[in-house]
Amino acid sequence: MKINQDKHSAFVPNFLLGTAGGIQYIKLKKASRNPRKSQEKCLRDILNYGKDTVFGKEHRFSYILEAKTAEELFQRYQQYVKPSDYEDFRPYVNRMKEGQADVLFQGRPVLYATTSGSTGEPKWIPISEAYLTNIYGKMNKVWLFNFIKNRPKTYQGYIVSIVGKQIEGYTPDGTIYGSVSGFTQKNCPGFVKKLYVSPSEVFNIEDYTARNYVIMRMGIERNTTLCVTANPSTMVEMQKNVDFWFDEYVKDIENGTITDKVDVPQDIREACAPYLKPNPERAEELRELKRLHGQVLPKHFWPNLQLLTTWKCGNTRIYLDKLKGCFPEGMLHQEFAYFSSECRAGLVLDDSIETTLFPHFHYYEFKKADEFEDPDARFYQLDELVEGEQYCPFVTTFSGLYRYNMNDIIQAASPFGNTPRIHMVQKVNGIVTITGEKLYEGQFINAVNAASEATGLKLNYFTGYANLPESRYDFYYEFEDDTVDQSRAEAFTALVDENIKKANIEYKAKRDSFRLHDPVTHRLERNSFGKFKEYILEQTKQDASRFKPNVLAQNEERHEVIRRFVLE
């Protein structure tokens, strides 16, 4: 089986997704023509969905719905429902987990998405039937249809989709909790499911090295034309797995097996068995690729890859840089969109980084980013956003989150129809301050990247932490060149420090006045990020596909972890 012959007709997926996704795309375009009207209708629909619940009765949803105009509706909603963080919702969610119905929305959750919380206790995000149907049903079809619009040959090959574990466990009332992406993949239409290179059971493999091995061993055999994963760091780790295990992949592909050298439970091996058969011809092709190129990259083993989708915004640049030159020319690397466990806010529909929002399925409010901490600051409606300005979004969803603070900074962009698009800038907690300097994560990333370009010193990984007791920042670097000694690393930090001063006048003022002391330099051992991530995942049981550590942070627990990997 030559990989360029491992094709099938894309007619069925293109036709079915073109029909179902096309219908929803037309509805999205219609809703986007008049965002204020769409937002009014959406908010009324959500409040009607929740008016007879515990939360709805406590917050007078029925009275809010008596408003005669959009302006009055928005005003009443702001008056009776205060902006909230997850901890405000936790008591309600706890009641739902015990089996109580009609708490935040009608009925009970279909499942819970779990993600890390600010208190150390995970967030449990309830997913209602309405949210699952509208967002992970109807709008997912637009997403899949969008791939065809951008690359018509997307479904001529196979799909590598890297998602979280569908079922992590069960709440006291028996409702599952786990990964929404895993749940939706397992329950996707059959004509799409048959295109996946591996069964959904592979995401139940606990050992991440083994999980990555199985995904890539099966993916590298196929003519993969679509690769989907939220975090670009996942692709970096997958390539490391390829580099280390390539010869073992080849043996397995030749024999139609999965090696015993990785820890894969027997039931998962059995689930994979129908996907495996001896393929000596493909094995020989892969051996030839290694002879020709040494390091075998996706552009070699997936030459027909049409589309890769990952996050490209926020703090992902350090991983994107590592992917440069790895993929086929002409492949579209599409932004994954502004997306979290709490809210799939929209889709990216082209080759930009801008997310097209769903004005008919979410109600959005915004504070200006520089007024975020002001409790009296005005909230702006979706249609009031100004292109180029930065805001902090608050969302109301069909899954029982009302005026929920996303703790993000987004930037408004050119509209889709008449509805502003947005892209992620950074987390609000990516703003760190020790003595009033308000250092942004993006400023730190840019400063390090500029220093790297100026010195020629390339980095595998870097991070910074606020050291409050010492009134300073600790900067950590894993240099590609192992010969970089402490003195050269400190010179690098001096350049980073100067770059930050140029970007942040408050930082410069605090440094010049000695209120903020010199940053301290730490060199990291090889594969420090992988070790850091493995430790955090082991401690938190967080899903690896959604692991998004801040590059600049004020978190003493994680600071202690990264210190474990400092070179003597």
pLDDT at 119: 53
- Is the pLDDT confidence value at 4 over 60? no
Q: Which of these, 158, 55, 175, lies nearest to 110 by C-alpha position?
A: 175
Per-residue pLDDT, 1: 42
Mean pLDDT value across residues 315-340: 90
Write the DSSP symbol of residue 350. S
What whole-number percentage of the chain has pLDDT above 70?
A: 97
Overall average pLDDT of the 409-427 stretch: 95
Closest alpha carbon to 218 in 245, 166, 258, 173: 258
Tell me, what's the pLDDT at 186? Answer: 75
Residue 17 pLDDT > 80: yes
Closest CA to 215 of 281, 267, 285, 264: 264
- Which residues, at least 6 apart from 156, have a Cβ–Cβ distance to it below 8 Å? 7, 8, 9, 10, 223, 225, 304, 306
20/218 Cα distance (integer angstroms): 30
**pLDDT bucket at 438, cuts 50 / 70 / 90:** confident
Query: At which residue do the structure tokens 């959904």 appear?
Result: 200
pLDDT interval class at 117 (50, 70, 90): low
Q: pLDDT higher for 438 or 519? A: 519
pLDDT at 9 over 90: no
Mean pLDDT for all residues in the chain: 93
> Average pLDDT of 326-339?
96
Q: What is the pLDDT of residues 497-536, one digit of tens each?
A: 999 999 988 899 889 888 899 999 999 999 999 899 888 8
Residue 339: φ, ψ to 5°: -155, 135
Determine if residue 314 is left, alpha or beta; phi over 0 gives left, psi from -120 to 50 gives alpha, anything else beta.
Answer: left
Q: Which residue has the higher pLDDT, 436 or 384?
A: 384
What's the Cα-to-Cα distance from 248 to each of 70, 123, 228, 283, 317, rounded to whole Å? Answer: 62, 39, 24, 10, 31
Contact 306, 331 (CB under 8 A): yes
| pLDDT at residue 546 in the model | 62
Residue type, 194: K
- What span, in angstroms and rounded, lies between the C-alpha atoms of 153 and 161? 17
> What band does 302 get if pLDDT is binned at 50, 70 and 90?
very high
Query: For the residues 359-381, what does the mean pLDDT come to?
Result: 95
Q: What is the pLDDT of residue 107?
A: 97
Tokens of 52: 């007879």
Mean pLDDT of all residues in 97-116? 93
pLDDT in tens, 263-290: 999 999 999 999 999 999 999 999 999 9
Q: Residue 71 above 70 pLDDT? A: yes
Q: What is the pTM of this model?
A: 0.85
Q: SS3 of 333, please?
A: strand
The confidence score (pLDDT) of residue 2 equals 52
pLDDT confidence of residue 545:
61
| Structure confidence at residue 544 (pLDDT) | 64
- Each residue of 534-547: pLDDT tens digit? 888 888 766 666 67
Neighbours of 332 (CB within 10 A): 16
What count of other Cβ atoms lies within 10 Å of the Cβ of residue 74? Answer: 20
